Amino acid sequence: MTSQLAPDQIFVALSLEFEDDLRVPVVEDAVATIEAKVRAAHPEVTALFIKPETPKAFAQAHDRLFGPEAASGRELQS
């Protein structure tokens, strides 16, 4: 999800799936790397939130917000 707050301010929220067997420090490093790369490429991103989430939890949240008939991109994942 993104939201443009001002011409040079963008809010980004991501729900990402990580491998179940990853240790917390590995996930933290991955999140830090993602944040650094996004901000380097898009300095207008002033707020970036990354939420680790299972595909099932994402689907349930999506369906609660938009209904099960709404396309979510889940069908594009392999």
Residue 6 lies in a domain: no
pLDDT in tens, the chain (78 residues): 778 888 889 999 998 888 889 999 999 999 999 999 999 999 999 999 998 888 888 888 888 888 877 765 555 444
Residue 55 lies in a domain: yes
- pTM value is 0.68
Residue 51 lies in a domain: yes
The count of structural domains within the chain is 1
Residue 1 lies in a domain: no
Residue 9 lies in a domain: no
- Which amino acid is present at 24? V
Q: Which domain holds residue 28?
A: 17-72
Residue 34 lies in a domain: yes
Residue 3 lies in a domain: no
Q: Contacts by 63-70 with C-beta closer than 8 Å and gap 24+?
A: none
Provide the 3-class DSSP secondary structure of residue 20.
Answer: coil
